[in-house]
Structures are given as C-alpha cells and as structure tokens.
Amino acid sequence: MISKNSTLADFKLKVAELLNLPNDQFLLKRNGVNRELKDSKRTLLQLGLNSGALIKVELGTPHNEGVFDLKVLVANLVSEPDNVLF
C-alpha cells in the first residue's frame, strides 16, 4: 500500500511491480513537467504528490540525484520580407 507518507523510492518500487519493469529502467515525471522525480528519500507529500496527481512513467535510465539533461537548440533566424509566412 502506498500512502502520502511513502517515499518516492517506495512508490517507484510499487510502480515497477505493477508494470513488471526493472526499477532501473524507467523514470518518473510529473505529468506536464518535463523534470524527473529523483529525490527518492522524500515522501510523496513532500514532493507535492497528492491523491489524483498524474505521474508519467518514461522508459529510460534514471539519472542520479544532481544530474540533469540539457537540451540545446540552435535557431537560425533569417530576415524575410513581411509577406512571407514560411
């Protein structure tokens, strides 16, 4: 049973069990926020995860605490006449 006082680690183990996935083969993210939930010692309540919260399970290797993804996009802006849309 998972309660609001369960840790993120406990929650992740339960998700792994329910989905029949190894614990180290998926990430947990808040739905709508592209940031991995990593602080495994904090409770669900401390993380602001209440009843009804949507959590995204994403296949992949979890990052260690303090490690983040950085995506860099380069845009090449070209000056075009005002009547050109694309």
pLDDT at 45: 93
Q: What is the band of 41 on the pLDDT scale with cuts at 50, 70, 90?
A: very high
User: What values do phi and psi take at 23, rounded to 5?
Assistant: -60, -25
Q: What's the pLDDT tens digit per position in 26-38? A: 999 988 877 889 8
> Rounded CA gap, 33 and 30, in Å?
5
pLDDT at 47: 92
Pick from 1, 36, 43, 32: which is nearest to 18 by CA?
1
Q: What's the pLDDT tens digit per position in 48-82? A: 998 888 999 989 888 777 776 677 877 776 666 66
pLDDT at 11: 94
Domain CATH for 21:
3.10.20.90
Total number of domains in the chain: 1
